[in-house]
Amino acid sequence: MAHDQESIHDLPSDDRYRLLIEAVVDYAIYMLDPDGIVVSWNPGAQRFKGYEAAEIVGQHFSRFYIEEDRRAGLPATALATAAREGRYENEGWRVRKDGTPFWAHVVIDPIRGPSGSLLGYAKVTRDVSDRRNTQAALKASEDRFRVFVQGVADYAIYMLDRGGRITDWNLGARRIYGFTPGEIVGAPFARLFVEEDRLIGEPQRALEYAARHGRFEGEGWRIRKVGERFWAQVRIDAILGEDKTLLGFAKVTRDVTERNEAQQKLEQTRAALFQSQKMEAIGQLAGGIAHDFNNLLTVITSSLEVVRDRLAEDRRTVRLVDNALQGAQRAAALTQRMLTFARRQDFEPEPVDLSGLVHALADLLRSSMGSSVALSLDFPHDLPWIRTDANQLETALLNLAVNARDAMPEGGSVTISARQASANDGPKPDLAEGRYVCLAVTDSGEGMDDATLAQAIDPFFTTKGVSHGTGLGLPMVHGIAEQSGGRLVLKSRKGHGTTAELWLPVAHANSEDVPAATQAMPSLAEDDPVRLVIALVEDDALILMNATDMLEELGHVVLPAPSGADALEILKGGRKVDLVITDQAMPHMTGERLTAAIRAEWPTMPIVLVTCYGEVVHNVEPNVTRLDKPFDTAALQVAIERAVRLQSSI
């Protein structure tokens, strides 16, 4: 290196230190004598304190302090501390020449001579106002956030350390979980999980997922301090340091129990709506095909009955015919159940002598249940009449009897009983006020567990297996009870049998108002035959032919008529006619209109109106006997007896 130029290395040591201090502009570096008088002043001091060296050298350094610090003796304390401890360091307010304050970081070091005597002090001051303002702003932000977090009441917001222990606890967490900070801070957050989730390690799994992916979100059961469960929506965020190391977790929990329950109710409502729409569709379908389907079944059943009677000696053939008849009857029952459940039937409530109806039905019930089932009836003598549709009640009882039989594959006992009751004794609080008769069918069968019992009246639910049940029997009974103004109540325990209770309202009618369905009929038995001339009106040629054969088998004379107009021609022709049997659904003239025309000219003529189950007829007189398709010979005979008796009593 050339030495012809001035070099810092050529300068005396004192000059080098002086140049160093004067070159520093970001720090105020100056000296004080032992009494605190300023004896030197660098450019940095001049830059941010505002004094020229000539203005401040010889002045006491206390003029840089704010008034309250001077009164408190802080300058003297600073010098004394530096002299005593060898160093004084602090931060505080200082004042510039123009009177504006600034935040200063101050270091005061004592200067001592070779003998250790105090020569003065070296004072270094730095303006750190910007840093302080930044820290203050950050602290204010943190304080605001802390207040915000602590003030949130709808969310549990709290921190976890790396091991999953709770380190703080906000107001929302206290409200949702019930724990105070003193009760929960320091505890593992797994304490807030339900037992089954703790056992499978769900808390640790959530933390591991958050640590690995940065966030965990989910829903599940949590538990309050009092032991009550609630459905929670949770989020866990991993908190990382500047070097990406895991510091802990921030956890947010929201109680969404009400939302979850509302969602479940919505889903249940949707399911119920779907089921209702499905039932409506089934009802419309069944109603649309019922007439034609029942016409076909009428042809099948009537033909099979005639064939069976004519082949009475061929037992094997009779057995086959009986099987075919049972199949046709099951098809008719299925159509009837579908229409009943879909509420497309014509429900005709009337006063009914329940005891008389059940006793009259007893033989049919016994034959339906078979010889392995013992049937007993228990009815008080003073049982009041009820108001319902007698025909549909009979169907309901047959369904309950068949259900009881199927629940006792090895046989057993069935008791049908009745008692008077009031709405207060009823099965549901919304049962209308009034008097009721509780008709109970009790079996000694297998019974049902709670899950099966809860679904027993749901449409299409059956425990009988594929092809052994439609699941419409109990819903049909339920529908009949509801339409009557009552309720169906099922009581059962697994292994202890089942009781089906039909709560039916008491009829407010005179005792003379006896329904035709429960009165004694004049006999048309074979040992005392009554030969009638019957005008049979039916537009379907197959049904007309088969019904004619059935009536002739019963010993009657039949005048077939393919339309209402033909029937009127027969009646006007002068030949004696004892009874008219007419179909309802016919072109040009319905059975209802034909009945009205007959009543206008022959008011005492007995009439049987044949309808498909589910057809609603509005304007037929009460003394017209109804007969549902498909019908067999026995039902046809009962209808004839009823029609003759009704008209003879007028």
Tens digit of each residue's pLDDT (9 = 90 or more) over 312-359: 677 777 777 777 777 777 676 666 655 555 544 556 778 888 888 888
Is a pLDDT exceeding 80 seen at residue 639?
yes
Task: Give every CB contact of residue 565 below 8 A, 6+ residues apart in sequence.
Answer: 588, 589
Predicted confidence at residue 528, as pLDDT, reads 47
Query: For 134-255, CATH number?
Result: 3.30.450.20
Residue 277 DSSP SS3: helix
Listing DSSP states for 58-120 in one string gives TSBGGGGB-HHHHHTTHHHHHHHHHHHHS-EEEEEEEE-TTS-EEEEEEEEEEEE-TT--EEE
Predicted confidence at residue 218, as pLDDT, reads 92
Listing DSSP states for 227-240 in one string gives S-EEEEEEEEEEEE
Q: In what order do the strands lie in the sheet with 155-161?
A: 155-161, 246-255, 229-240, 215-223
* Distance separating alpha carbons of residues 155 and 174, to the nearest angstrom: 10
The residue behind tokens 């009914």 is 352
Work out whether strand 579-583 and strand 533-537 pair parallel, antiparallel, or are unpaired.
Answer: parallel
* Distance separating alpha carbons of residues 15 and 26, to the nearest angstrom: 20
Work out whether strand 155-161 and strand 118-127 pair parallel, antiparallel, or are unpaired.
Answer: unpaired
Looking at per-residue pLDDT, the higher value among 553 and 80 belongs to 80
Range 208-213 average pLDDT = 94
67 and 95 in contact (C-beta within 8 Å)? no
* Distance separating alpha carbons of residues 146 and 149, to the nearest angstrom: 5
Estimate to the nearest angstrom the gap between the alpha carbon of 188 and the chain centroid: 34
Cα separations (Å) of 532 from 426, 427, 477?
50, 50, 38
Q: Output the six-digit token pair for 537.
A: 């009106």
Give the residues across from 157 on adjacent strands: 252
Burial group, residue 593, by CB count within 10 angstroms (0-12, 13-18, 19+): middle
Q: Quote the percentage of the chain above a pLDDT of 70.
A: 78
Q: How many residues does the chain have?
A: 650
Is a pLDDT exceeding 50 seen at residue 141?
yes
Tens digit of each residue's pLDDT (9 = 90 or more) over 20-50: 566 566 788 889 999 999 998 888 888 888 8
53-67 as b/e: b if 16+ CB within 10 A: eeebeeebbeebbee
549 and 302 in contact (C-beta within 8 Å)? yes
- Rounded to the nearest integer, the mean pLDDT of the chain is 80
Q: Which helix (H) or strand (E) holds 148?
A: helix 129-151
* Distance separating alpha carbons of residues 586 and 565, to the nearest angstrom: 11
Predicted confidence at residue 2, as pLDDT, reads 47
pLDDT-based confidence at residue 243 (cuts at 50, 70, 90): confident
In this structure, whether the domain defined by 354-513 belongs to CATH 3.30.930.10 is answered with no
Among 305, 306, 353, 341, smallest CA distance to 325 is for 305
Listing DSSP states for 603-650 in one string gives TT--EEEEEETT----S--TTSEEEEES--HHHHHHHHHHHHHHHHT-
Predicted confidence at residue 399, as pLDDT, reads 79
Q: Lowest-confidence range among 374-383, 454-463, 490-499? A: 454-463
Predicted confidence at residue 21, as pLDDT, reads 60
| Count of alpha carbons within 13 angstroms of residue 152, beta-carbon side | 16
Is a pLDDT exceeding 50 seen at residue 514?
no
Q: 8-127 falls under which CATH superfamily?
A: PAS domain (3.30.450.20)
Q: Output the six-digit token pair for 139.
A: 């602290």
Is a pLDDT exceeding 90 seen at residue 88?
yes
Range 363-389 average pLDDT = 85
Predicted confidence at residue 416, as pLDDT, reads 92
Predicted confidence at residue 15, as pLDDT, reads 52
* Distance separating alpha carbons of residues 513 and 519, to the nearest angstrom: 11
Looking at per-residue pLDDT, the higher value among 644 and 472 belongs to 644
Looking at domain 517-648, which CATH architecture does it have?
Answer: 3-Layer(aba) Sandwich (3.40)
Tens digit of each residue's pLDDT (9 = 90 or more) over 152-165: 667 888 899 999 99
Question: Helices (H) and strands (E) in the chain — how many of each?
Answer: 20, 20
The residue behind tokens 């001592």 is 112
